[in-house]
Amino acid sequence: MAEQVGEMVTVEFAVGIGDGQFKASATVPAGQTNLTQILPVLQSLSSSFIEGVTAQLAESGQPVSCRAGCGACCRQMAPISIFEAEALSAWIRTLPEARQEQLASRFHQALVALGAAGIIDRMVEEDWQAETESARKLALDYLYARVPCPLLEEESCSIHPIRPLICREYLVTSPPEHCADPAHLQVVPVHLPLNFSRILKAIGKELEQDSRGWIPLVFLFAWMKSGARPGDAVAGTGPQVLYEFVKRMSEAVNRVRANDVAGGE
Ligand code: SF4
């Protein structure tokens, strides 16, 4: 269902999750746009979905413990889709030159620190998404290198309204301080039945056959130099682009459900 107002159009949709549904509406450009350009819409949908999950958890006595000012998880490797890399690159180019230089320097320092800890070479070689012992070890070693995200300022995200989807989706119900030492303290992550970041990464991987469809956030300034514009490859009217995303999200949910059923047999 779509309702057009001026050059924007509001689209309503629903994605089935188990016995329930995620029903939402989104206002997108009626005319030509692309996946990177409608990223703010996806961020807003992701946030409203997460708010619903967070409220349910609070009601069931398992409140999410993540709070402003806790940047413990911001020392992990943050995988961002190439579309988010494109959007963040465009945003950085709008900043005053002095701020751009400051950020470039922080990203450089983070890479130097990770290099000194022997992490960078392994980051390039390892498949982070693989459920392997070495991938898990690399993720832990990255965290214990204690290199803060270059966008973390005074333990808060300096780009909070436009932060990547993966950062929105990382939530825990365990004590926040546990996130700084997951090898010894139990961390209880929140399972989200809809994972917006994963869908974007999968679309990116389809576009770039020889890549993973994502980059570690700390590589952003290096990636920017490529001038890549992956969003153009998923273009159309606003409703068409949103449909592409929602369709893949539904397919992903159905795949997980089919696997669960097969696993339960
Ligand atoms: S972008 Fe923000 S929320 Fe994400 S890791 Fe960096 S500082 Fe943390």
Compute the average pLDDT of residues 242-250. Answer: 94
What is the tens place of the pLDDT at every residue in 42-70? 999 999 999 999 999 999 999 999 888 88
pLDDT of residue 105 exceeding 80, the answer is yes
Which region among 105-114, 115-124, 167-176 has the lowest average model confidence (pLDDT)? 115-124
Cα 99 from Cα 122, distance rounded (Å): 30
- Nearest Cα residue to atom 2 of ligand 1: 157
Which region among 96-105, 117-126, 238-247 has the lowest average model confidence (pLDDT)? 117-126
Q: What spacing in Å lies between the alpha carbon of 160 and ligand 1's midpoint? A: 8
Cα 117 from Cα 106, distance rounded (Å): 17
Compute the average pLDDT of residues 189-197. Answer: 93
Q: What is the pLDDT of residue 262?
A: 55
pLDDT of residue 260 exceeding 70, the answer is no
Which among 70, 149, 162 is the best mutation to test ligand 1's pocket, defined by most ligand atoms within 8 Å of the CB?
149
pLDDT of residue 254 exceeding 70, the answer is yes
Cβ of 190: how many Cβ atoms within 10 Å? Answer: 17
Which pTM was predicted?
0.92
Q: What spacing in Å lies between the alpha carbon of 78 and ligand 1's midpoint? A: 8
Q: What is the pLDDT of residue 56?
A: 93
What is the torsional sign of CA 238, 239, 244, 246?
positive
pLDDT of residue 256 exceeding 80, the answer is no
User: Over the chain, what is the mean pLDDT?
Assistant: 90
What is the tens place of the pLDDT at every residue in 206-242? 887 667 889 999 999 999 998 999 999 999 999 999 9
- Nearest Cα residue to atom 1 of ligand 1: 163
Cα 258 from Cα 111, distance rounded (Å): 41
- Provide residues with CB under 6 Å of ligand 1: 74, 78, 149, 151-152, 157, 159, 163-164, 167
Q: Which atom of ligand 1 lies closest to the CA of 152?
A: 7
pLDDT of residue 98 exceeding 60, the answer is yes
What is the tens place of the pLDDT at every residue in 124-140? 777 776 678 888 889 99
Segment of 175-184, 230-239, 254-263 carrying the highest mean pLDDT: 230-239
Q: Which atom of ligand 1 lies closest to the CA of 160?
A: 2
- Nearest Cα residue to atom 8 of ligand 1: 74
Q: What spacing in Å lies between the alpha carbon of 96 and ligand 1's midpoint? A: 21
Q: What is the DSSP string of 169-214?
A: H--BSS-GGGGG-TTTS---BPPPSS-HHHHHHHHHHHHSTTS-SE
